[in-house]
Amino acid sequence: MDHSSLCEMCLHRRWSFCGALVGKSFEQLNNQKGWEQHRTARSGERVANCDQVSEEVLVLCKGWACRFFMLPDGRRQIFNFLMPGDIFSAISVFQERFSFTVDALTEIQITAFQRTEVKRRLSLSASLWAKWIDLVADEVRTADELMVALGRRTAEERVGYLLLHLVRRMSAKGLADKHRYRFPVNQSHIADTLGITSECVCRMLSRFRRRGILELSNGYLEVFDFDELERIGSPRRWS
């Protein structure tokens, strides 16, 4: 991993938790050098390792990554995809070792904060606490939805759910151009998130394509029939 200081203008500063973490109210505080470190990594690089002890809280500030667990025989379960502004895992602020692995899906930039200092700032600011709790709540909701998908929904519903979920997150982050999205997630990633094979994902995608619902190719996702996608994939409806 390259230890340059490239991301001076890290976009993540604008977003809720990270923005508050580095906010003005802390300027006068113990702002020692090294409490915030910037790094970059290339597509495919591993940027956090399961069981690794770390004094850092990692935040993705540019690009995409995925957070997963790998069984010793190679089976992989992806928990979620990280987009700019996302903390790797909210609870990891209070855990000395990672319980997951993270791989970059694109070129990425990361900010690494010192865990002790993050905790100190949390203890000093009620509004920062509130934002952290919102992050935890989001992660719990996402995990619950994925569990429902994995346990009780068909392959078609699962793929619909995941694409819908990601499209909503991208829109919320302003990563959309109309209904067209940069989408660096390939079919094995989708498969390993949804508990199916990449061939099955491919078949579901071509089914969607044939029905004019969406098009996913060459790293771009375009949604033509959002209503239909919701009918298939909404976490609260059936198909």
Binding residues vs DNA (CB under 7 A): 154-156, 186-188, 195-200, 202-203, 205-206, 217-219
Q: DSSP labels for 117-167?
A: HHHHHHHH-HHHHHHHHHHHHHHHHHHHHHHHHHHH--HHHHHHHHHHHHH
Whose Cβ is closer to DNA: residue 114's or residue 198's? 198
95 binds, among DNA, its own copies, none (CB under 5 to 8 A by kind): its own copies
| Amino acid, single-letter form, for residue 121 | R
Q: Per DSSP, what are the bridge partners of residue 220?
A: 182, 217
- Tokens, residue 37: 């470190």
Regarding 94 and contact with its own copies (CB under 8 A), the answer is: yes
Rounded CA-CA distance 210/204 in Å is 10
Rounded CA-CA distance 110/87 in Å is 10
- Tokens, residue 147: 């569990």
What is the pairing mode between strands 56-62 and 220-223?
A: unpaired
Shortest distance in whole angstroms from residue 165 CB to its own copies: 14
Site for its own copies in 124-163 (CB under 8 A): 126, 133, 136-137, 139-141, 143-144, 146-148, 150-153
- DSSP code at position 92: G
Regarding 226 and contact with its own copies (CB under 8 A), the answer is: no
Sign of CA dihedral 201, 207, 209, 213: negative
236 binds, among its own copies, DNA, none (CB under 5 to 8 A by kind): its own copies
Site for its own copies in 158-217 (CB under 8 A): 192-195
203 binds, among DNA, its own copies, none (CB under 5 to 8 A by kind): DNA
Shortest distance in whole angstroms from residue 127 CB to its own copies: 13
Q: Which residues bind its own copies (CB under 8 A)?
A: 69, 71-73, 75-77, 79, 89, 91, 94-95, 99-100, 123, 126, 133, 136-137, 139-141, 143-144, 146-148, 150-153, 192-195, 236-238
